Chain A
Amino acid sequence: MIEMRNVTKKYGKRKALDSIDLIFEKGKVYGILGPNGSGKSTMMKMAAGLLFPTKGEVLINGQKVNRHIAKDVAYLASEGMIYPGLTVRQMIDFFASQYPDFSMEKAEELIQFMNLETHQKTAKLSKGQQGRLKLLLVLSREAPVLLLDEPFLGLDPMVRDTVVKGLVSFIDFGEQTVIITTHEITEIEPVLEEAVILDEGQVRARCHVEALREEEGMSVLQWLKTTYKEGINS
């Protein structure tokens, strides 16, 4: 379980996050949606122990988040993460050496699934292959928390499809708490249980995905657009 209690993060005078109160329950899959600059990545970095709140606190399984939280949190960063000098195999071995929960068995399955060649230098990989490698590194970990920041960024529709299937195949549903930020809402919606809309560092709305369809007859994308229209008109 991840708890954000009255979390504010300031960069200088600008508030990237403003009094966020959110609870992410164990074993569920959440989507964080919102425009660029709404605070999504800041929130993810905070849960990953890479940034600290200016005010308030972030708890994972009751423990205050600090740098050591990396042992419980598998984090897919939207930028960086892959070392260009290493081969795919060396990158995997490096992750395995850093995280005791890294499962080589899962990694081998994922190499097949993601159709990666282990002898290739990561610098030589296409953007799609890099995206798949990043997902492999994160999904191979049996961590209680998975944070995926923009896992579809720069990926073509075929690779996005592979990513979705990879998530469904390798997430331990009911055990791992998963938070995904993305703009590819139609693609991710069938995997999500709940969605949160962030806007200017605040929680604008949240919903249960299937209930939204059942009760409002709306998809998450329509809901997001409606929420924004209301915001502009009010």
Chain B
Amino acid sequence: MTEEFKTSKPIYSQIADRIIQQFVRGEIKPGEKLPSVREMAIQSGVNPNTIQRTYGELERMGVVESKRGQGTFMTEQIDMKKKLRADIQKEMIETFIQNMRGIGVEDGEISQAVEQFLTEKEKTGDD
């Protein structure tokens, strides 16, 4: 199935987010060749111009490198993965905190709740 896209964000940046997440999770390796624009467009069921923009954006961020006549490759810079992971982490925490504040939980309670959650998980051995 072609994928579903969220309504509020440009499709090109949603695909960029997905590639970054796959890289951080290790599903795409440093230096790995990405599918061609056309292949990626077919996989995702989107206009190739959108993928062109995704790759352009990722290149500006230094996440991918395009080599003339060879295609687009994931960066081999060691620090990039760390940086991207930190970015994603920060974003996730932000969303979490906003949601907690949204339901009226005080900041002190939030960190307490998180700690409690983690220790309880440890005890029961759940993951």
Q: Which of A65-73, A85-93, A186-194 contacts B (4 or more CB under 8 A)?
A: A186-194
Q: Is the CB of A168 within 8 A of B11?
A: no
Q: Is the CB of A219 within 8 A of B7?
A: yes
Q: Which of B22-30, B44-52, B77-85, B88-96 contacts A (4 or more CB under 8 A)?
A: B44-52
Cα distance, A193 to B46, chains bound together (Å): 10
- Interface size of B as a range: 20 to 34
Chain B facing A: main interface SS: loop
Expressed in whole angstroms, the minimum distance between the Cβ of B47 and any Cβ of chain A is 5
Residues of A207-234 whose CB lies within 8 A of B? 210, 213-214, 217-219, 221-222
Q: Is the CB of A173 within 8 A of B47?
A: yes
Q: Is the CB of B47 within 8 A of A168?
A: yes
Expressed in whole angstroms, the minimum distance between the Cβ of B7 and any Cβ of chain A is 4
Expressed in whole angstroms, the minimum distance between the Cβ of A143 and any Cβ of chain B is 19
Question: Is A10 among interface residues, defined by CB-CB distance under 8 A?
Answer: no
Q: Is the CB of A190 within 8 A of B49?
A: no
Expressed in whole angstroms, the minimum distance between the Cβ of A220 and any Cβ of chain B is 9
Question: Is B2 among interface residues, defined by CB-CB distance under 8 A?
Answer: yes
Question: Smallest CB-CB separation from B12: which chain A residue?
Answer: A210
Question: Is A7 among interface residues, defined by CB-CB distance under 8 A?
Answer: no
Query: Can you list, as one digit per residue, whether each of B11-41 has a CB less than 8 Å from chain A (1) or not (0)?
Result: 1100000000000000000000000000001
Chain B residues within 8 Å of A222, by CB: 7
Chain A residues within 8 Å of B48, by CB: 168, 173
Residue tally, chain A, CB below 8 Å to B: 21
Cα distance, A23 to B10, chains bound together (Å): 25
Expressed in whole angstroms, the minimum distance between the Cβ of B16 and any Cβ of chain A is 13
Question: Is B8 among interface residues, defined by CB-CB distance under 8 A?
Answer: yes
Question: Is A165 among interface residues, defined by CB-CB distance under 8 A?
Answer: yes
Cα distance, A130 to B49, chains bound together (Å): 30
Expressed in whole angstroms, the minimum distance between the Cβ of A51 and any Cβ of chain B is 29
A186, A189, A213: most-surrounded residue (chain B CB, <10 A): A213
Question: Is B9 among interface residues, defined by CB-CB distance under 8 A?
Answer: yes
Question: Is A117 among interface residues, defined by CB-CB distance under 8 A?
Answer: no
Cα distance, A219 to B4, chains bound together (Å): 12
Given contacts A161-B1, A191-B47, contact A169 B7 (CB under 8 A): no
Question: Is A164 among interface residues, defined by CB-CB distance under 8 A?
Answer: yes
Q: Is the CB of A190 within 8 A of B8?
A: no
Closest 5 CB pairs of A and B: A219-B7, A190-B46, A213-B10, A217-B8, A164-B45
Given contacts A164-B2, A168-B41, 7 further A-B pairs with CB under 8 A are: A29-B47, A168-B45, A173-B49, A190-B5, A190-B46, A191-B46, A213-B11
